[in-house]
Structure 1
Amino acid sequence: MPGHEFFTALTVAEALRGFRPGRRSAVEIVPLDAALHRVPAAPVTTPAPLPGFARATVDGFAVRAADTFGVSEGLPGYLDVIGAVRMGATPTTGVRPGTAVAIPTGGALPPGADAVVMVEYTQEAMPGTIEVVRPAAPGDGLVRADEDVPAGAELVPAGRPLRAQDLGLLAAAGVRELAVHARPAVAIISTGDEVVPATTTALRPGQVRDATAVALAGLVADAGGAPDPRGIVPDDAGLLDEALRAAMKTCDLAVVSAGSSVGARDETAGVVAGLGPPGIFCHGLAIRPGKPTLLAECDGVPVIGLPGNPLSALVVFRLVGVPVLRRIGGCLRPPPEPRTRARLARQVPSAAGRLDVVQVRLDDGVAEPIFGHSALLSVLAAADGYVLVPEAATGLAAGAEVEVVLYQ
């Protein structure tokens, strides 16, 4: 990855296009019942077709379609019922010209049959004989042996998190375990002399509880990662260097909150620059909130430096950190975020050249912007989602229709 001048702000799109670490989490084998939301390391194919046998999709009678041609309510056809299919058993009676075999939904199609007539289109003419009042075409009322999945076909692709329906398809194919990427281990390091553990009961003047770390851990877990909180490091370059080097030995991604703003007490950029090549990719994004964001790759381990304000840190990690995390975890086809359309309740000002992330509350199709300082977590907690104001825009008008990315 090419280097960039210190604090040269890139757009979020430029950062995501250019910052593409090659690291991938390890591959491990997991049982199918533990594979939900895991990312397959390779496509999974089926050696045999599904469902594996032709079967009925309706309750009725297995027939030769040719024996029903031309029948109608006024001119029914008559067939002798010579047997019945039992669920879960191989049919023992074949269908011959002029005959039918009773079959339930899901039953295996007996030899000689090429269609199933719904029971609603038949009635008993006499014991052992039915009359058919609607014709059937070959293939009606059944699925072929390979209609669900042909032999050798891909069941699930690599790089897309597994959904519940994917697990069902894999189970139907007899897959009991599969190779997936391990959840990327993400070291979460908080910095600052003023930051104290979230469990601190009483704060002294100037102290703040570490609210960012626990929220970041939640975002990491939601994105398929394994959060590894490393505690709080004071504003000391040597201690931060030690903490980051320790994290790089065991983790796939290191995230530092606070200490990435340009200032005399901020040590992150200087420390990261010395951790190994290729080093800092960018320090500064054209985004509000979240401009003082640092992206780097050091000896094969990506490092993200987040702003100190909790709202800024969480906003920028959602937009930039989560895609990086998913890429490390082999997720090349992330699930789409839930979205909805709404009308803006009031004007949203912005400045051209930066991406503005505006928190909104939804009420009956109306998006009410929530404004507040980037240090205020209550803004995020009150929001139902956010609206992006593109770099080229100078604001959004009241009443404008916008797309709201929803929080889950």
Structure 2
Amino acid sequence: MSATEFFTALPVSAALAGFRPLRRTGTEEVDRAAALGRVPAAPVASGAALPGFARSTVDGYAVRAADTYGAGEALPAYFDLVGAVRMGSAPDAAVRPGGAVQIPTGAAIPPGADAVVMVEHTQVTMPGVIEVTRPVAVGGGIVRADEDVAVGAELAPAGRALRAQDLGLLAAAGVTRVEVRARPRVGIISTGDEVVPPDTADLGPGQVRDATASALAALTEEAGGAPSLRGIVPDDAEALAAALAAAVRDCDVVVVSAGSSVGARDETAAAVRALADSRVYCHGLAIKPGKPTLLAECSGVPVVGLPGNPLSALVVFRQVGLPVLRRVGGIALPPAEPTATAAMARAVASAAGRLDVVQVRVRDGVATPLFGASALLSLLTSADGYIVIPEAATGIDEDAQVTVTMYR
């Protein structure tokens, strides 16, 4: 396809379903303390039952449940107090018929007991004797030895980033090291004769600071990747091809910003095709903003070519680039995004067959759409989140209830 030819935009759903790079990062072993957010390469199984012993869930008295049957306020059941269990120690007394052992929450159940009656349902009538005013069923007030986790049970699945609660369960099971996927190394290439580094103090005529690369790097880190900023490449086919080849050699995903518009200055597709073992999957997505998007593979490394405008580039990277990054990093169960339900402040039109991503501000349960040119990065910073108008829809009515994906 020449630079002047029109292209057919592929639906985003079709692109996500069809563009399935096989590349996966390798694995490494990390300490549990450093495993937050890392992705287990295989399910983590427990080598022991948890809690490992039957324990009380309430403060009260360990008893035989059968001895409490029929007990009530008018006719309590009486028990001989035969001992007490200390936390962190094995019980030194057994429960016999008509006997009870005092026990705190979390302590080990003494032999002979099959229930714990809550202290609120008891009363000490005389030294060494308690009365129980409510019956308790077998197993009441008790956690079984393997009720939390059975031997061999899955502590954490493969493909889901480890959360704080996961690390707590691993600690309880005595897991000290975890085999995880290496973080995907994401090469970020900026292109354009007009693009200059962000620390440029004084801009020349027509120059713009590279805002997109910094935002892409932050999104990459949020998604569990390791950004590798590859600098700015001028609008030169040979220079871009060289930069792409270098990035493909040592990265797991390559992202090119600003070089994917179909036109005389588009060099990304040509540079990809110039590399050995390359394949362009699509050049053009039915998404607004962000239509001129490129998806390709070079030597098995996925390449995502983004539009030049920062807003468009970041919208497309969220919708398409992050799923690719997560796939390469072995994330089969991506984290759920925070959402809110709101009513649309006004109607928004859309074209059937195109995915529209609309930035919104949310106040008091009302979502107000924010519109402007795709070069305006301030639209993103002003937004609380965004809504997605599905490809089959032709718009959203005023007052319609929508789901807003909130920015963190």
Same fold (TM over 0.5): yes
Question: 1:372 — aligned with what?
Answer: 372
Q: Deviations over 1:9-50 (max 9, x none)?
A: 111100000001001111011111111111110001112111
Question: 2:261 — aligned with what?
Answer: 261
CA distance in 1, matches of 2:387, 2:134: 56
Contact 1:6 1:282 in 2 (8 A): no
CA distance in 2, matches of 1:398, 1:122: 61
Question: 1:121 — aligned with what?
Answer: 121
Contact 2:272 2:278 in 1 (8 A): no
Residue 201 (str. 1) matches residue 223 (str. 2): no
CA distance in 2, matches of 1:146, 1:379: 53
Matches within 5 A, 1:327-366: 327-366=327-366
Q: For residue 338 of structure 1, report the CA deviation from its aligned partner.
A: 1.3
Question: 1:17 — aligned with what?
Answer: 17
Contact 1:41 1:158 in 2 (8 A): yes
SS at match of 1:52: coil
Q: For residue 6 of structure 1, report the CA deviation from its aligned partner.
A: 8.5
Q: Deviations over 1:179-201 (max 9, x none)?
A: 01111000000000000000101
CA distance in 2, matches of 1:66, 1:339: 50
Q: For residue 357 of structure 1, report the CA deviation from its aligned partner.
A: 0.8
SS at match of 1:361: strand
Question: 1:183 — aligned with what?
Answer: 183
CA distance in 2, matches of 1:265, 1:339: 39
Q: Deviations over 1:129-163 (max 9, x none)?
A: 11111111110111000111111111111001111
Matches within 5 A, 1:157-306: 157-306=157-306
Q: Deviations over 1:22-79 (max 9, x none)?
A: 0111101111111111111000111211110000000001111111111111111111
Q: Deviations over 1:243-301 (max 9, x none)?
A: 11111111100000011111112211100112233510000000110000000011111
Equivalent AA in structure 1 for residue 92 of structure 2: T
Large movers: runs of 4+ above 3 Å:
none
SS at match of 1:286: strand
TM-score normalized by structure 1?
Answer: 0.97
CA distance in 2, matches of 1:20, 1:319: 15
Contact 2:51 2:145 in 1 (8 A): yes
Q: Count how many residue pairs are aligned between Structure 1 and Structure 2.
A: 404
Question: 2:82 — aligned with what?
Answer: 82
Q: For residue 352 of structure 1, report the CA deviation from its aligned partner.
A: 2.0
Q: Structure 2 vs 1, CA of residues 246 and 6 (structure 1 numbering), >3 Å: closer, same or farther?
A: farther
TM-score normalized by structure 2?
Answer: 0.97
Contact 1:7 1:282 in 2 (8 A): no
Q: For residue 341 of structure 1, report the CA deviation from its aligned partner.
A: 1.3
Question: 1:407 — aligned with what?
Answer: 407
Q: For residue 351 of structure 1, report the CA deviation from its aligned partner.
A: 1.9
Q: Deviations over 1:59-100 (max 9, x none)?
A: 001111111111111111111111110100111111111111
Contact 1:252 1:302 in 2 (8 A): yes
CA distance in 1, matches of 2:75, 2:352: 76
Equivalent AA in structure 1 for residue 361 of structure 2: R
Equivalent AA in structure 2 for residue 23 of structure 1: R
Question: 1:398 — aligned with what?
Answer: 398
Q: For residue 344 of structure 1, report the CA deviation from its aligned partner.
A: 0.9
CA distance in 1, matches of 2:171, 2:79: 39
Q: For residue 393 of structure 1, report the CA deviation from its aligned partner.
A: 2.2
SS at match of 2:361: strand
Q: What is the aligned-residue identity percentage?
A: 69
Q: Note the residue ranges of structure 1 that are not aligned, 5 or more in a row.
A: none
SS at match of 2:10: coil
Equivalent AA in structure 1 for residue 38 of structure 2: R
CA distance in 1, matches of 2:300, 2:106: 53
Q: For residue 394 of structure 1, report the CA deviation from its aligned partner.
A: 2.2
Contact 1:116 1:136 in 2 (8 A): yes
CA distance in 2, matches of 1:388, 1:117: 54
- Cα-Cα RMSD: 1.1
Question: 2:8 — aligned with what?
Answer: 8
Residue 140 (str. 1) matches residue 147 (str. 2): no
Residue 385 (str. 1) matches residue 382 (str. 2): no
Q: For residue 353 of structure 1, report the CA deviation from its aligned partner.
A: 2.1
Equivalent AA in structure 1 for residue 52 of structure 2: G
CA distance in 2, matches of 1:283, 1:322: 18
Question: 1:323 — aligned with what?
Answer: 323
SS at match of 2:79: strand
CA distance in 2, matches of 1:90, 1:333: 41
Q: Structure 2 vs 1, CA of residues 222 and 6 (structure 1 numbering), >3 Å: closer, same or farther?
A: farther
Contact 1:6 1:283 in 2 (8 A): no
Q: Note the residue ranges of structure 2 that are not aligned, 5 or more in a row.
A: none
Q: For residue 239 of structure 1, report the CA deviation from its aligned partner.
A: 1.0
